[in-house]
Amino acid sequence: MSLLHVAIISPFLLAILVPFLYKYFRTIHTGWFVLVLPVLLFAYFIQFVSTNMHGETITKTANWIPSLGINFTAYIDGLGLLFALLITGIGALVVLYSIYYLSKDKEQLNTFYVYLLMFMGAMLGVVLSDNLIVLYTFWELTSLSSFLLIGYWYTREKSRYGAQKSMLITIFGGLLMLGGFVLLYMMTNTFSIREIITQVPDITQHALFIPALILILFGAFTKSAQFPFYIWLPDAMEAPTPVSAYLHSATMVKAGIYIVARFSPIFSGTPEWFWIVSAFGIFTMFWGSFNAVKQTDLKGILAFSTVSQLGMIMSMLGVGSAAIAIDSIDDGFYTVATTAAIFHLINHATFKGSLFMVVGIIDHETGTRDIRKLGGLMSFMPITFTIAIIGAFSMAGLPPFNGFLSKEMFFTSMTRVVEMDVFNLEALGLLFPIIAWVASIFTFIYSMVIVFKTFTGKFQPEKLKKKPHEAPIGMLISPIILASLVFIFFFFPNILAYTIIEPAMASVIPSLLGDDKHFHIHITPWHGFNLELFMTLGVIALGVVGYLSLSKWRSVYGLVPEKLTLNKGYDRALFTLDKSSSTLTKFYMTGFIRDYLAYIFTFFIILLATSLIITDGFEFQLAGTAPIGIYEAVLAAVMVIGTITVLFSKSRLTAIIALGSVGYSLSLFFVLFRAPDLALTQLLVETVSVALFLLCFYHLPEFKKKEKMLRFKLTNLIISLGVGTIVTLLALSANSQRVSETISTYFIENSYELAGGKNMVNVILVDFRGFDTLFEITVLGIAALGIYSMIRLRVRKGEEG
């Protein structure tokens, strides 16, 4: 295992140690121990920047299940490195922020940091895995760990609800994405993403190509909160603010963005990919920004703004995918959308992370996030106010903040859609710049709401739970760093262009690389008086009017009844599913084992009988079979008589004795077939069973009335005869249609050579089936412990009574 693999799994290793650090170092905040890891990981990954700048990649493979083509192949290219730096860099700032946000005396820090480290490791695994199955494994770990983080305050009903909602939706999408991965494997016979990319020309016309595309996008859309799956994200805001700042600004929600970017070399250039990704993305941007304006909770505003910004990035990736379908490239004319998507992905992490931390500070220092109760905080929290202005104005796309640059590039990419002559864009392409412009107006409005409704206006101390004051410096360090990056990336954007964006572009659209295997990207703050600038001026003008007149047109949100919203639809669907499953469960869960056995055996008969009939699988040949001797016939007759006696016996004692005769007769069969170990085992089991029956004889229930008992026995008789017949037919057919040598030959030849034992049965149980036997013993041990616990509990209750 390489150092790169160790870097990926190191958060999981530290998570194992966190409970001990929490227990034995109670005087020190556990976050200080955790902070070291993301800082070291960021320093480790940043060394690969120069490598990627020169067009090189890093690949390290650790064998896992090589026979199935599943290996832990860690792969660092421009795209993976970008996300790894976001995960570790933002992760370090979030951990530092959490040290001052979460009290070591009031919070269970051990569980919080275990969950956080699990999530960090899972995200690193997602963005640095080349193998589809390994990627999916880490993908579902992100859903699990985010569920735990969102539900960290599990005593709150809203936290539990939000955690459940996020897990159900994201895991549903992940399962569909796994289906897409399987289809890709069926087309290419490999789980390696890099190898699949090399086979793209051969699979684009395959019948499974479009189904794979759709299933993979389901996973991406559910994780990145695209319409209509976005409904889990606002409810996830019940998590502690460090969780929101980490998961919902820079990492988890961008995992879906990563999937779309990573699989763009495979699916880009197809009309299905273009229209699904770009159309869902641009509508999600509008829908998120439109709904953000009506929110009154600051984290609610940021939640819908995140939905909107993710839709914006997704739409740019979709539009950028059309570049592959266009033969000629004019100085990056058609690649600006992908450039803008990657650039805004970075910018969004900086300004949205700082805003989440600002909201956390406001909640921490005032006791509320409700903008109806806030106002006039500027004089009490000047530093927080400054950070809020920087983050919100950048999100609104105003200069001199980095959001302005990527927003201008976004406008450029949307207006150039009209000039593309592919995918029928001549007719529908005009919708993209119009929707983008309208959505940007709402983005401007809610950005102003965050700043001015919170920090200006009338101060309302009677509505606050705490007396407001500036946050401690430790809580301000992280948002200050992020806010500083907002400025730095505006004035020096090419720090990112040459080091991060160009290598990432090479990963997303490698087929459009220049002759020197590089994209040449140059970002400047000023492009002159062009259409994009006038669009921005229009956004500002209408945005100011919209903000000032918000109270007059806000009633528009009441036009749609609450019961018609997606959230209510989700709740109704969940309630219906729960009620239906409860009704169905009550129908078949009668509490009687005999009923459950009847269901199982009836299904068994129907399934196997149907299979034998459909496949014409029954065949009966006596060639090669051993003759039946007098002893076998007698024992078989005894077993049949004993079985019939059990069924029709009117005495409990007679039934026990008859049942014992069946078991003892079976042990004699083992003796005749020269299996003394099995015979001894059967004798012991049968003796113990009969003895236990006799010991419990007094407590056994009385027989039911004859007529009810007869009907019950007839039902069981029919099922028993059916099972016996099917098993007999199956055994005869299998023995008559041997297509290969029996497995027993292998054990006979290798028991002594491979396992050093002459008793074949013992060797199979202990060596060839060692794990199976171990797990059987484990199950018995667990059952014994459970019985012992129940007995102890009953005794203790009796003593207390």
Domain ranges (residues) in the chain: 268-557, 559-589, 592-744, 745-801
| Mean pLDDT to the nearest integer, 144-161 | 94
Using CA atoms, how far residue 82 sits from 77, 118, 129, 349, 370, in Å, is 9, 20, 14, 12, 35
In whole angstroms, give the CA distance from residue 316 to residue 282. Answer: 8
Q: 712 pLDDT band (50/70/90 cuts)?
A: low
The CA distance from 276 to 484, in Å, is 36
Residues 424 and 346 sit within 8 Å (Cβ to Cβ)? no
The alpha carbon of residue 375 and the mean position of all alpha carbons in its chain are separated, in whole angstroms, by 39
Highest mean pLDDT of the ranges 388-402, 512-526, 696-710, 736-750: 388-402
| Tokens coding 799 | 């003593």
For 672-683, the pLDDT digits (tens) are: 888 787 888 888
What residue type is assigned to position 115 of the chain? Y
- pLDDT value of residue 704: 59
Structure pTM?
0.82
User: Among positive and negative, which fits the CA dihedral 503, 505, 506, 508?
Assistant: positive
pLDDT reported for residue 329: 45
70 membership: H or E segment, kind and range: strand 70-76
Distance of alpha carbon 297 from alpha carbon 370, whole angstroms: 5
DSSP annotation of 729 reads: H
- Average pLDDT over the chain reads 90
Asked whether 769 and 757 are in contact (CB, 8 A), the reply is no
Q: pLDDT grade, residue 770 (50/70/90)?
A: confident
Which tokens sit at 234?
């606002």
Tokens standing for 736? 């008559």
Averaged pLDDT for residues 740-767: 82
User: Environment class of residue 587 by beta-carbon count within 10 Å: exposed (0-12), middle (13-18) or buried (19+)?
Assistant: exposed
Give percent of the chain above pLDDT 90.
64
Closest-CA residue to 324 (of 389, 268, 251): 268
Across 99-106, average pLDDT = 90
When pLDDT is averaged across residues 502-530 and rounded to a whole number, the result is: 81
**Confidence band (pLDDT; 50, 70, 90) for 189?**
very high
Q: How confident is the model at residue 375 (pLDDT cuts 50, 70, 90)?
A: very high
Backbone angles phi, psi at 238, to 5 degrees: -70, -10
The answer, yes or no, to whether residue 398 has pLDDT greater than 70, is: yes
Is residue 328's pLDDT more than 60?
no
Q: Band of the pLDDT at 59, cuts 50, 70, 90?
A: very high
Q: What are the Cα distances from residue 650, in Å, to 503, 646, 653, 659, 757?
A: 83, 9, 9, 14, 49
pLDDT over 60 (residue 708): no
Q: How far apart are CA 499 and CA 51, in angstroms?
A: 10
Distance CA 101, CA 98 (A): 5
Where is average pLDDT lowest: 74-78, 268-272, 319-323, 480-484?
A: 319-323
First to last CA, the chain: 59
pLDDT at 233: 95
Does the pLDDT value for residue 140 go beyond 50? yes
Cα of 392 vs its chain's centroid, Å: 30
pLDDT of residue 439: 97
pLDDT of the residue at 707: 45
Band the pLDDT of 487: cuts 50, 70, 90. Answer: very high
The share of the chain scoring above pLDDT 70, in percent, equals: 95
- Give the C-alpha separation, 6 to 12, whole Å: 10
Distance CA(295)–CA(289), nearest Å, equals: 11
Helix (H) and strand (E) counts for the chain?
Answer: 35, 2
Predicted pLDDT of residue 514: 65
Does residue 368 register a pLDDT over 90? yes
Tokens 């803008």 belong to 340
pLDDT of 359: 96
Return all residues near 727 (Cβ < 8 A) that are at least 6 apart: none
State the pLDDT at residue 473: 93
The 10 Å CB-count burial string (b at 16+, else e) for 647-679 is eebeeeeebbbbbbbbbbbbbbbbbeeebeebb
698: pLDDT strictly greater than 80: no
378-382, 642-646, 788-792: which has the highest mean pLDDT? 378-382
- The whole-number average pLDDT for the span 47-74 is 91
The predicted structure's pLDDT at residue 369:
93
Checking if the pLDDT of 741 tops 90, the result is no
Residue 513 — left, alpha, or beta (φ > 0 → left; ψ -120 to 50 → alpha)?
beta
Q: How confident is the model at residue 149 (pLDDT cuts 50, 70, 90)?
A: very high
- Residue 765: pLDDT above 60? yes
CA angle 604-608-611, nearest 5°?
150
CA angle, 287 then 398 then 505, to 5°: 75
* Rounded-to-integer distance, Cα 396 and Cα 493, Å: 18
> How confident is residue 801, by pLDDT bands cut at 50, 70 and 90?
low
Question: Is 330 a residue whose pLDDT tops 60?
Answer: no
Q: Is the predicted pLDDT of residue 186 greater than 60, yes or no?
A: yes
Confidence of residue 711 (pLDDT cuts 50, 70, 90): low
User: pLDDT of 614-662, one tens digit each?
Assistant: 888 787 777 767 788 888 899 999 999 998 888 778 777 888 889 889 9
Angle between helices 109-128 and 252-262 (to 10 degrees): 10
Could you give phi then psi for residue 341, rounded to 5 degrees? -65, -45
Secondary structure percentages of the chain, helix, strand, coil, to 5 = 75, 0, 20
Q: Which residue has the tokens 């105003």?
A: 398
- The mean pLDDT of 772-784, rounded to a whole number, is 89
